[in-house]
Amino acid sequence: MAPEYATDPVFLGVIAVLVSATAFATTYMLTSFLIKYLRKNGCTVPDSFKKEKTMVAHPGGPAIIAGVLASEAVLYGFLQETAILAVMAVSFIAFLIGLVDDKRPMGGWYKPLTLAGAAVAIILLGAYETNLTFPMFGNVSIPLLYMGVLVMMIVVTGNTVNSIDVLNGVASGYMAIAGTSLAICLVIVGNYDIAVATLPLIFVSLAFYKYHKFPSRIFPGDSGALVLGCMYGTIAIVGGVEVLAAIALLPAIINSFLFLSGVKQIVEYRKIKTKPTIITGDFKIKATRNLDALTSLLQIITAKAPMTERQVAGTILRLGVFSGILAIITAFLSGVRI
């Protein structure tokens, strides 16, 4: 239960600035140190879409989780809400799950199963309501079914964000956009304290994007992408905006949907035999014409003409802005009843 002063708009505004600054500064400074540390210790991976052989520091997850935990801890100090503890707990567990996969790539079922386990933290902390809100139509109470929705939300958001982490700057840039849309939606539906809890997601993503954008100096790895995705899913649950969050994440969901409906099994991307895209002689990304290998958003974007990595990343971010606008329109529709 938040203290009474937490409802004061000026107080929340001051906390919002403090939390945002903590998130941005922590991740920005730590990422710089982490790049040097990882390079010095040979923790690098090849960047697939570059002309020259380029090795990039990996994983950036530690800088991302540090920014999330530091800023959410500051927020918890002021608001003492269980919802913030849930965001911190799930993000940290997702970081550990991703770190294991970064160190030693696991099988296709590893992440869905372990992320389902991470969702249990929300249940144990009781940071949820069993109502699902649909715009224009209202709430539906689904006590038993909601447990499944809750677990699926964490599994889906974690994995979908991880699945779009294929090009320089996409995962962090996309999460900054989706996080902003989600924060605006939370303000529209009047959930101000959780909107402030979303600011670390936006500012950590922005700080990391500074190093992750084209040409990347560091990749987030599974430990970074899963933190961003699962934090997003947890905020959606504790804020009661599951449907709006799903809409803001549509391009990433389409990517996962294309992959699952294409390969028809839960498997890591690196294991599929027929790749959806190829790299041309002038290092552009080009879709393969094999209709049976229709498995990614990247393939659809590059279907008409080959594109540079930067062009594709820009297109995905524009899709993110479009889905964010759809989510905000939907949030306004929440006040309308048919």
- Nearer CB in complex with another protein: 100/326: 326
CA pair distance 175, 167, nearest whole angstrom: 14
Residue the block writes with tokens 């699962």: 230
Residue 253 touches another protein, criterion: CB under 8 A: yes
Nearest approach in angstroms of CB 55 to another protein is 33
Q: Give the interface size with another protein as a residue count (CB under 8 A).
A: 41
Binding to another protein, residues 270-299 (CB under 8 A): 287, 289, 291, 294, 297
- CA nearest to 79, candidates 136, 130, 18, 134: 18
Residue 247 touches another protein, criterion: CB under 8 A: yes
In one letter, which amino acid is 211?
Answer: Y
- CA nearest to 334, candidates 235, 242, 204: 242
Residue 305: alpha-carbon gap to chain centroid: 28
CA pair distance 188, 132, nearest whole angstrom: 17
Q: Which residues, in sequence order, are bridge partners of residue 201?
A: none
Q: Are 292 and 274 in contact (CB under 8 A)?
A: yes
- Nearer CB in complex with another protein: 124/140: 140
Contact residue for another protein among 60, 221, 239, 251 (CB under 8 A): 251
CA pair distance 262, 79, nearest whole angstrom: 45
Nearest approach in angstroms of CB 148 to another protein is 7
Nearest approach in angstroms of CB 87 to another protein is 24
CA pair distance 94, 157, nearest whole angstrom: 11
Nearest approach in angstroms of CB 248 to another protein is 11
User: How many CB atoms lie under 10 A from the CB of residue 118?
Assistant: 25
Nearest approach in angstroms of CB 242 to another protein is 10
Nearest approach in angstroms of CB 318 to another protein is 9
User: How many CB atoms lie under 10 A from the CB of residue 142?
Assistant: 13
Nearest approach in angstroms of CB 290 to another protein is 9
The residue ranges of DSSP E strands in 87-194, in sequence order, are 131-134, 138-141
Exposed e or buried b for every residue in 288-323, given b needs 16+ CB within 10 A?
beeeebbbbbbbebbeeebbebeebbbbbbebbeeb
Contact residue for another protein among 94, 237, 301, 313 (CB under 8 A): 301
Map residues 159-198 to x or -, x wherever contact with another protein holds by CB under 8 A: ----------------------------------------
Map residues 128-147 to x or -, x wherever contact with another protein holds by CB under 8 A: ----x-xxxxxxxxxxxx--
Binding to another protein, residues 310-329 (CB under 8 A): 315, 319, 322-323, 326
- Nearer CB in complex with another protein: 37/257: 257
Residue 14 touches another protein, criterion: CB under 8 A: no
Residue 336 touches another protein, criterion: CB under 8 A: no
- Give the residues lining the site for another protein (CB under 8 A): 132, 134-145, 148, 243, 246-247, 250-251, 253-254, 257-258, 261, 287, 289, 291, 294, 297, 300-301, 303-304, 315, 319, 322-323, 326, 330, 333, 338
